Amino acid sequence: MELCDKIMVLCHGKVMGVVHANKTTKEELGLMMTGSLDLNVVKQQKRFGIAKDSNIAGGGKNEQ
């Protein structure tokens, strides 16, 4: 986890979340990898599953 700033987790082709590497745990990543934890659904109002500075469509500061 020291190799990157952000981590995007996919499960069966679906983005489960984009998190900051220094703010997440290995356990949380494991749950996202198995599909048990979908951060996009958990906190829909706060866009918790996508880091604010990500360039993913539908979220982030680059959204128009």
pLDDT (tens digit per residue) in 26-52:
999 999 999 998 887 765 555 555 666
Residues in the chain: 64
Confidence of residue 54 (pLDDT cuts 50, 70, 90): low
59 occurs within a structural domain? no
When comparing pLDDT for 61 and 5, which is higher? 5
The pLDDT tens digits of the residues spanning 12-29 come to 999 998 899 999 999 999
CA distances from 47 to 2, 41, 59, 62 (A): 24, 9, 7, 14
56 occurs within a structural domain? no
3-state class (DSSP) for residue 32: helix
27 occurs within a structural domain? yes
pTM recorded for the entire structure: 0.62
Q: What's the domain count of the chain?
A: 1
- Residue span of the structural domain in which 37 resides: 6-46
61 occurs within a structural domain? no
